Amino acid sequence: MFVRRLLVLGNLAISAVAQKFSNPIIYSDYPDNDVSVGPDGAFYFSASNFHYSPGAPILRSLDLVNWEPVGHSVPRLNFGAGYDLPTTGERSYRGGTWASSLRYRKSNKTWYWIGCVNFWQTWVYTASSPEGPWSNRANFGDNNCFYDNGILIDDDNTMYVVYGSGQVKVSQLAADGLSVVKTQDVFNAANVGVDSIEGNRMYKINGTYYVLNDKPGGTTFIWKSKSPWGPYQVKELVKDVKSPVEGGNSPHQGSLIQTADGKWYFMSFTWAYPSGRLPVLAPITWGSDGFPVFVNGDNGGWGKTYPLPLPAKSAKPLTGTYRFEGSSLGPTFEWNHNPDTSKFFVNNGLTLQTASNTTDIYSARNTLTHRVFGEYPVGTLELDFTAMADGDRTGLAAFRDRSAYIGIHREGNAYTIAAVHNMTIDETAGNTLDFGRTVGTAQLRQGVRKIWLRTKMDVRPNGSREASFLYSYDGNTYTQLGATYKLFDSWGFFLGYRFGIFNFATKGLGGSVKVNSFTSA
Ligand SMILES: *[C@@H]1O[C@H](CO)[C@@H](O)[C@H](O)[C@H]1NC(C)=O
Ligand SMILES: *[C@@H]1O[C@H](CO)[C@@H](O)[C@H](O)[C@H]1NC(C)=O
Ligand SMILES: *[C@@H]1O[C@H](CO)[C@@H](O)[C@H](O)[C@H]1NC(C)=O
Ligand SMILES: *[C@@H]1O[C@H](CO)[C@@H](O)[C@H](O)[C@H]1NC(C)=O
Ligand SMILES: *[C@@H]1O[C@H](CO)[C@@H](O)[C@H](O)[C@H]1NC(C)=O
* Gap from CA of 432 to ligand 3 centroid (Å): 11
Write phi, then psi, for 79 (nearest 5 degrees): -120, 15
| CA–CA dist 254, 248 (Å, integer) | 16
Ligand nearest to the backbone CA of 461:
4
User: What separation in angstroms does the CA of 102 have from each of 26, 36, 132?
Assistant: 20, 8, 13
> Does residue 399 contact residue 500 with C-beta atoms inside 8 Å?
yes
pLDDT in tens, 395-406: 999 999 999 999
Facing residues of 103 across strands? 112
Distance, in Å, from the CA atom of 398 to the CA atom of 359, rounded to the nearest integer, reads 17
User: For residue 507, which atom of ligand 5 is closest to its CA?
Assistant: 1
pLDDT tens, residue by residue, 360-383? 999 999 999 999 999 999 999 999
| Alpha-carbon distance values, 85 to 17, 102, 339, 509 (Å) | 50, 28, 9, 16
Per-residue confidence (pLDDT) for residue 33, from 0 to 100: 98
DSSP class of 444:
P
Among all bound ligands, the one having the nearest atom to the CA of 304 is: 4
Shortest CA distance to 57 belongs to which of 98, 5, 25? 98
Assess whether pLDDT exceeds 90 at residue 8: no
- Rounded Cα distance, 164 and 367, in Å: 34
143 confidence band (pLDDT: 50, 70, 90): confident
Could you tell me if 332 and 491 are in contact, meaning their C-beta atoms sit under 8 angstroms apart? Answer: no
What is the per-residue pLDDT across 170-205, written as a single tens digit (0 to 9) for each?
A: 999 999 999 999 999 999 999 999 999 999 999 999
DSSP string, 211-262: EEEEETTTEEEEEEESSTT---EEEEEEESPPPSSTT-------EEEE-TTS
Instruction: Render pLDDT for 406-454 as a digit per residue (tens, 0 to 9).
Output: 999 999 999 999 999 999 999 999 999 999 999 999 999 999 999 999 9
Of 365, 506, 509, best ligand 5 pocket probe by most atoms within 8 Å of the beta carbon? 506
The 10 Å Cβ neighbour count of residue 226 is: 12
Judged by DSSP in three states, 362 sits in helix
CB within 8 A of 289, min separation 6: which ones? 235
Q: Which atom of ligand 4 is nearest to the CA of 246?
A: 2
Ligand 3 mean position to 5 CA, how many Å?
Answer: 44
> How many residues would you count in the chain?
521
CA 439 to chain centre: 30
Q: 7 in helix, strand or coil?
A: helix
Confidence tier at 1 by pLDDT (50, 70, 90): very low
Ligand 1 atom 10 nearest Cα = 108
Ligand 1 pocket test target in 176, 178, 179 with most atoms within 8 Å of CB? 176
The overall average pLDDT reported for the chain is: 96
Give dist(CA 267, CA 253) in Å, integer.
8
The pLDDT of residue 442: 98
- Nearest Cα neighbor of 379 from 359, 407, 401 is 407
CA distance 275 to 375: 8
> Is residue 13 predicted with pLDDT exceeding 90?
no
DSSP run (H or E) holding 5: helix 2-10
What is the model's pTM? 0.95
Ligand 1 probe mutation, 104, 112, 126, most atoms within 8 A of CB:
126
Going by pLDDT thresholds of 50, 70 and 90, the confidence category of residue 56 is very high
**In this predicted structure, what is the pLDDT of residue 18?**
55
